[in-house]
Amino acid sequence: MKRPNHPKKEIEEALRHAELYGWRVEVGGSHAWGRMYCPYNSADCRCGEFCITSIWSTPKNPSNHARAVKRVADKCALVKWPPQRSKAVEYTFTLKYQLAAYDRDPASIVERLGAAGCDDALVGTGVAGRVALEFTRDAASAEAALRSALEDVRRALPGARLTEAGPDYLGLSDVADLLAMSRQNLRKLMLNHPDSFPPPVHEGSASVWRLADLLGWFAERGTTLDSALVQTASATRQVNLAKDAGQLSPELLHGLKPLVS
């Protein structure tokens, strides 16, 4: 997700220059607009004095402050040129929440989500007491995209409870759409490979599978899959597992783990 721009153009350019070197910029504060963090944070480099550098919101001389920001990044003893930039990839995923009883005004919710950095998401408020966000977020990994999105929503809606991250639990039709194949062909594969095809996590009139399991099955058979989709399915699965595990008492979790592994 793109961070908010600094209000001063020359300082924003300096921050982007630092980010090329791998510095992380975090926004927060009033007069101190934010901070930038060195990717090395080594005691061998200026004893770490400037490995965390404050960025002013309204410095007396923005041009001087911008030059100082660039100088900190350029003079890092451990920096390498050309800078190693992590390649951002676009990840699409959905986060669904149960809203707190005291916080259910749609207009306020959407406004706060946008201010918290969720302007790369479609926000759905059509179900009372719920909110769903469909993110399309650039990040170095699916895990990074999900983590940053979860942090943004938590900051905007601290009382909301995550109910599901997706894509994770899907029916055959949804999986077939993602794989650009017909539901009939997917069902035929399931019936023709009963010993290896992943079992559903819920069976019934509308059976549900974990997408990561099905993608893994296809990958083992040499199917070319979208890397971002594979990463996202794995990451959303981990988020849902972590959410569910948090509802178990440590004693029960310890006792059940050897029985269900």
State residue 204's pLDDT score.
83
For residue 82, say if its preceding peptide bond is cis, omega within 30 degrees of 0: yes
Compare 252 and 241 and report the one with higher pLDDT. 241
Say if residue 46's pLDDT is above 60.
Answer: no
CA gap 38, 52 in Å, rounded:
6
**pLDDT tens digits, one per residue of 215-233:** 999 999 999 999 999 999 9
Helix, coil or strand: residue 119: coil
Average pLDDT of span 88-108: 91
CA gap 256, 153 in Å, rounded:
32
Helix orientation angle between 142-156 and 106-115, rounded to the nearest 10 degrees: 130
CA gap 226, 215 in Å, rounded:
10
In this structure, are residues 91 and 145 in contact, taking their beta carbons and an 8 Å threshold? yes
Average pLDDT of span 91-104: 94
CB burial of 49-86 (b: ≥16 within 10 Å; e: otherwise) equals ebbebebbeebeebeebbebbbebbeebeebeeeeeee
Nearest to 238 by CA among 248, 227, 246, 228: 246
Give the dihedral of Cα atoms 114, 117, 121, 122; nearest 10 deg: -10
Helix, coil or strand: residue 18: helix
State residue 77's pLDDT score.
59
Q: Domains in the chain, start-ordered, CATH in brackets?
A: 9-74 (no CATH), 169-225 (1.10.10)
Enclosing H/E stretch for 69: helix 62-74
Q: Report which residue type is found at 213.
A: D
CA gap 51, 35 in Å, rounded:
10
Enclosing H/E stretch for 3: none
Say if residue 37's pLDDT is above 90.
Answer: no
State residue 237's pLDDT score.
96
In this structure, are residues 159 and 103 in contact, taking their beta carbons and an 8 Å threshold? yes
| Residue 47's pLDDT band (cuts 50, 70, 90) | very low
**pLDDT tens digits, one per residue of 141-155:** 999 999 999 999 999
Percent pLDDT > 90 in the chain is 48
Beta-sheet strand order (sheet of 89-98): 121-124, 130-139, 89-98, 161-166
Average pLDDT of span 108-130: 89
Average pLDDT of span 20-25: 84
Summary mean pLDDT of the chain: 86
Nearest to 92 by CA among 205, 229, 218, 203: 229
| Residue 86's pLDDT band (cuts 50, 70, 90) | low
Find tokens 């035929």 and name the residue: 188
Least confident of 39-48, 91-100, 113-122: 39-48
**Neighbouring C-beta atoms of residue 105, cutoff 10 Å:** 12
